[in-house]
Amino acid sequence: MRHLLIVLLVSYSLSVMAAPRPFQRILSSPNGRLTLTVSASDSVRFSVSSAGQTLVNPSVIAMILADGRTLGNGVPQRSRVQSVRDSILPPVVTKRRVIRDRYKELVLEFRDKHALEFRVYDDGVAYRFRTDFTDSITVRSETARFAFANNPTVYYPAVQPRPEVDRFHTSFEEPYQIRSLSQLPDSVLCFSPVLLAPPTGPRIVLTESDLLDYPGMFLARQGNGLTGVFAPYPLTEKRIEAEYSQVVVANRADFIARTTGKRTFPWRVLVIGSDRDLPASDMVYRLATPNRIGDASWVKPGKCTDEWITNINLFNVPFRAGVNTETYKYYVDFAKRFGFDRILLDAGWSDNNDLFKITPGMNIPELVAYAHSQGVKLSMWTLAATLDRQLEPALKQFQSWGVDFIMTDFMDRDDQKMVNFYTRVAEACARAKIMIMYHGAYKPAGFERTYPNAITREGVLGSEYNIWSNKATPDHDVLLPFIRMVSGPMDYEPGLLSNATKEQFKPISGQVMSQGTRCHQLAMFVVYDSPISIFSGNPSQALLEPRFMEFLGSVSSAFDETKVLDAQLGQYIVTARQKGNDWYIGGLGNWSAHDLKLSLDFLGDGAFEAVSCTDGPNADRNPVDYQFSTKTVTRTESLPVHLAPGGGFLIRLRKK
């Protein structure tokens, strides 16, 4: 009996020693404010707190492969922590010349050649999977759960179901809905970014970065949090014939991605901060894969005109306005006069389905020669399905015309196959030294760092919605910097010169007006990130107001530094941008009036000439009303500014 007892005790002791111990590691941000806790036993979980306040409760992370393996399962074999203090010098300077990249990183390495990487910045937390398999893999699903504490208010854009396409088909252009997390219906499919506002403490923007060769992340409510939902891989597609034909998914697979086994996956990102922090954040950019195109000195930010929103409804001209050579020469003259780098030939310059079938009345060689003589470049719209089919010959044609910037439109998906279309087009354009902008597009997710020629994109409900709806309100406009813009630049296309109150507004094609004041439209050129800023107003109206247009034309589209001076989520935002020795301050407001006092302590020493364009005294009744003023200021002063309902302002400060 004694011998048997000894054997049983030894056996029990060995079994305890062999069991893996639960893992836990706590990591703080460089400034100590944010805390990330990572634990692992049966699965990996993470939680986040800010200054002791819990923001995210323990949330499960996993990736399930088609062969049955679950990544992020169990206890890691080893872990390591490092601190990074670095700076990024972006090859194309658009928001700031030097980007600080400081974080703490935790890497969990598992036995079967995969790892989880976590980073904690002062302005957020992110994680991603990394695999080191020899063979390719098929990802059946990914578990990305975010269990938010204290039932935050959610600001979210929801996919609107359409009978002719599946639930993952969307233009990524919807107004924000606002409700508590507990009241968000389980059936709603949101596209990121979304913003979560706890009752107290910082805001949280949930999004992703480094989206390459993998589907984008939608979000749906699950219990007290949100969970990632990913479009399955397209097995078969079909073409929907329409004015703007596009390829849609007919049948999807039972997996979300087939990909190489040795790679990193997209970052799941929580940008965390105050109302002033979020619009200025470049965390998504920092997390993205660095420049893949090599020398990017030929990528040139600038300003552009567009004629599509106003339906080319010109007046005071001696020709029939429309898609013809004379009209676009008129746009070239307008661009030269007011300091625009290029004009966009939007949909209609060619057959939508054949980029080599030029519309009658268009003499492209003549227009190219005229634009060149005026120092103005041409840019071209394309339909994505057509560009995909004619890519290489079309780019050669564009090169022969001196075109250095194109738009492609109507993708309306972010499954793996469509994500790879973005990469393929960006790479082809880079070889041809052509910049590319995507419309009908998902959010940038840092793509502009990886492919600097992919300089801006849509993925936003912008000016064009004034043609057919009342969705582009000042309330909507002022939310964009806190949510959508956190993911990267956005092509809103401001500049409409017919402006209306809420009661006056009507969507009228050809006589398009905007809601809010003229200065609300003007301020967008500073408040919104878009290195190619597009003026969508009617040039015939603009020519009647040369001082206003000269002022707008003097505003840069890319900046050396960006500071948010004042902001209140959903109420107003004031942003200062530096270009050389000059500063520009833009402010946007919602449908309420606001009186603000702007500190100028960010300026350098010496005196500055401040030229202000602000809402006029009657802008609350007639939103076209604006007024100019000029004064000399120094950094010790403050400027009072009044925003009318739906108002805005723009101030240019030049060193004297």
pLDDT in tens, 600-629: 999 999 999 999 999 999 999 999 999 999
Query: For residue 68, what are the contacts with CB-CB under 8 A and spacing of at least 6?
Result: none
Task: Choose the final residue of a domain: 258, 287, 316.
Answer: 287
Residue 257 shares a structural domain with residue 359 = no
- Rounded to two decimals, the pTM is 0.95
The pLDDT tens digits of the residues spanning 503-546 come to 999 999 999 999 999 999 999 999 999 999 999 999 999 999 99
Residue 375 pLDDT greater than 50, yes or no: yes
Closest CA to 131 of 233, 259, 230: 259
pLDDT at 6 over 70: no
Rounded mean pLDDT, 194-222 = 98
Task: Please answer whether residues 230 and 252 qualify as being in contact, where contact means their C-beta atoms are separated by less than 8 angstroms.
Answer: no
Domain boundary among 545, 577, 603: 545
**To the nearest whole number, what is the mean pLDDT of the chain?**
96
Residue 245 and residue 320 in one domain: no
What crossing angle do the helices spanning 325-338 and 546-553 adopt, rounded to 10°?
Answer: 70
Domain co-membership, 332 together with 184: no
**Average pLDDT rounded to a whole number, residues 459-481:** 98
Are 282 and 332 within one domain? no
Compute the distance between CA of residue 554 and CA of residue 281 in angstroms, rounded to an integer: 25
Confirm whether 124 is domain-assigned.
yes
Q: In 569-616, where do the E strands start and end?
A: 572-579, 582-589, 594-599, 608-615
Task: Please tell me whether residues 337 and 480 are part of one structural domain.
Answer: yes
Of 312, 386, 325, 316, nearest in space to 356 by CA: 386
Show the beta-strand stretches assigned E in 395-445: 405-409, 435-438
486 close to 609: Cβ distance less than 8 angstroms: no
Q: What is the CATH number of the domain that holds 334?
A: 3.20.20.70
Residues 351 and 240 in one domain: no
Cβ neighbours around 400 below 10 Å, total: 11
Write down which residue in 287, 313, 332 finishes a domain.
287
What DSSP assignment string belongs to 533-547? EEE-S-HHHHTT-HH
Catalytically annotated residues = 409, 464
Q: Lowest-pLDDT range, 239-243, 319-323, 378-382?
A: 239-243
Q: Is the pLDDT of residue 16 over 90?
A: no
- Confidence category of residue 21, pLDDT binned at 50, 70, 90: confident
Task: Assign 645 to helix, strand or coil.
Answer: coil
DSSP 313: -
Q: What does the pLDDT average to over 22-44?
A: 96
Note the pLDDT tens digit of each residue in 269-298. Answer: 999 999 999 999 999 999 999 999 999 999
What band does 219 get if pLDDT is binned at 50, 70 and 90? Answer: very high
pLDDT, residue 8, reads: 30
Q: 353 and 278 in one domain?
A: no
pLDDT at 7 over 80: no
Number of structural domains in the chain:
2
Mean pLDDT of 243-262: 96
Residue 626 lies in a domain: no
Pair of tokens at residue 431: 């070889």
Question: Domain for residue 11, yes or no?
Answer: no
Q: Provide the CATH number for the domain around residue 178.
A: 2.70.98.10
Residue 342 predicted with pLDDT over 90 = yes
Which 8-state DSSP code applies to residue 158?
A: B
DSSP state at residue 603 = S
- 39 domain-assigned: yes
- Which pLDDT band holds residue 15 (cuts at 50, 70, 90)? very low
CB 401 within 8 A of CB 434: no
Does residue 311 belong to any structural domain of this protein? yes
pLDDT band per the 50, 70, 90 thresholds, residue 580: very high
The C-alpha angle 277, 278, 284, rounded to 5 degrees, equals: 120
Question: Which domain does 430 fall in, by range?
Answer: 302-495+502-545
Please tell me the predicted confidence (pLDDT) of residue 20.
64
Residues 166, 219, single domain; the answer is yes
For the record, the structure tokens of 44 come out as 């990996």
Q: Both 260 and 327 in a single domain?
A: no
The two three-digit tokens of residue 422, written as one number: 């973005």
Q: Are residues 382 and 243 in the same domain?
A: no
pLDDT in tens, 555-575: 999 999 999 999 999 999 999
DSSP 469-522: -S---HHHHHHGGGTGGGGS--------S-EE-TTT----TTS--EES-HHHHH
Residue 511 lies in a domain: yes
Same domain, 465 and 321: yes
Q: Considering the domain boundaries, does residue 183 fall inside one? A: yes
572 torsion bin: left (phi>0), alpha (psi -120 to 50), beta (else): beta
- Within 8 A by CB and 6+ apart from 353, the residues are 245, 383, 385, 386
Nearest partner of 178 among 188, 163, 169, 168, judged by Cα: 188
In a domain, 620, yes or no: no
Residues 328 and 278 in one domain: no
Which residues make Cβ contacts (< 8 Å) with residue 16, sequence separation at least 6? none
